[in-house]
């Protein structure tokens, strides 16, 4: 058991990360993962978590935090009838399989590789934010199987490797295939459930017995962070939402694009130094 002063310092640092992540999630309207992972990565670095496990711990802990928030969001959206239940049923195996595959990959590759994956996807998402057009279309409707099933696996893998609930990735997939942004956002809440629960299990398994993990960690999940950050993000997010309402949608898209770009550049810099 580490000294009590070390635990207090760790808890305070994680709490500060939760406040920052909750506020930014409220500002940008994103379910937290794309924000939590880079924030956790910085905080775990300040707390001297070894580089060999720091990125994996950030990803796994982020997915664990997404579990209750995605369930709550999904139930709310389903009550409004906005969720594409048929799409989720078709992905009930594909997406969790992808998420579990991501956890397995994370357990074997280096932290630098994971940072590279996060950075590349973040750049692609940023480009989408900078040059977003509502009329962008690949097709007028979602593809049939097996293409749709494969897309679910890919979304699960990419989301698991980024520690996110799949919202941004699925929103792009659905809106470029003729679905409204409102239906895409609602359906993404259910996708978060299919990604985060298997991801939680997978990251525990992948990190079981790993050296250098901080106190109260099970595999690549740190429970101090989970317990502290969930209520803090829920508490602080409304402040970010109020800030967001003072800005127009285009400014929010540009703001989130800048955030993703800065995060990607930070990870690229860490990889070469």
Nearest to 42 by CA among 267, 213, 273: 267
pLDDT classification of 172: cutoffs 50, 70, 90: confident
- How does pLDDT run across 135-149, given as a tens digit for each residue? 677 888 888 889 999
Biggest alpha carbon–alpha carbon distance for the chain? 59
DSSP code string of 33-86: HHHHHHHHHHHHHHTT--HHHHHHHHHHHHHHHHHHHHHHHHHHHHHTT-S-HH
Query: Structurally, how many domains does the chain consist of?
Result: 1
Nearest to 83 by CA among 95, 94, 93, 71: 71
For residue 150, the model assigns a pLDDT of 95
Tokens of 21: 């992540």
What is the residue range of 73's domain?
4-272
* DSSP H/E element including 217: strand 217-218
Specify the pTM.
Answer: 0.83
- How does pLDDT run across 37-73, given as a tens digit for each residue? 888 888 888 788 898 999 999 999 989 988 887 787 7
pLDDT classification of 21: cutoffs 50, 70, 90: low
* CA 169 and chain centroid, separation: 10
């Amino acid at each position: 058991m580490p000294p009590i002063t070390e635990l207090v310092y760790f808890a305070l640092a994680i709490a500060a990360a939760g406040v920052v992540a909750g506020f930014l999630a409220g500002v940008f309207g994103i379910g937290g993962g794309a924000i939590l992972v880079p924030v956790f990565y910085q905080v775990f670095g300040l707390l001297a978590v070894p580089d060999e496990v720091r990125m994996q711990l950030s990803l796994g802990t982020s997915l664990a935090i997404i579990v209750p928030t995605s369930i709550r969001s999904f139930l709310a959206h389903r009550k409004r009838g906005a969720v594409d239940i048929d799409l989720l049923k078709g992905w009930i195996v594909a997406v969790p399989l992808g998420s579990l595959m991501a956890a397995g990959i994370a357990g074997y590759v280096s932290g630098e590789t994971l940072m590279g994956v996060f950075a590349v996807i973040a750049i692609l998402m940023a480009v989408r934010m900078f040059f977003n057009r509502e009329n962008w279309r690949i097709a007028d409707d979602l593809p049939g199987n097996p293409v749709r099933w494969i897309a679910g696996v890919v979304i699960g893998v990419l989301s698991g490797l980024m520690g996110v609930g799949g919202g941004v990735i699925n929103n792009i997939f659905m809106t470029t295939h003729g679905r409204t942004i409102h239906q895409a956002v609602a359906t993404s809440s259910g996708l978060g459930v299919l990604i985060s629960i298997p991801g939680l299990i997978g990251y525990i398994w992948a990190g079981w017995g790993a050296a250098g993990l901080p106190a109260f960690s099970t595999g690549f999940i740190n429970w101090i962070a989970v317990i502290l950050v969930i209520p803090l993000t829920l508490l602080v997010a409304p402040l970010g939402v109020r800030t967001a309402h003072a800005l127009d949608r285009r400014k929010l898209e540009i703001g989130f694009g800048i955030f993703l770009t800065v995060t990607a550049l930070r990870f690229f810099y860490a990889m070469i130094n």
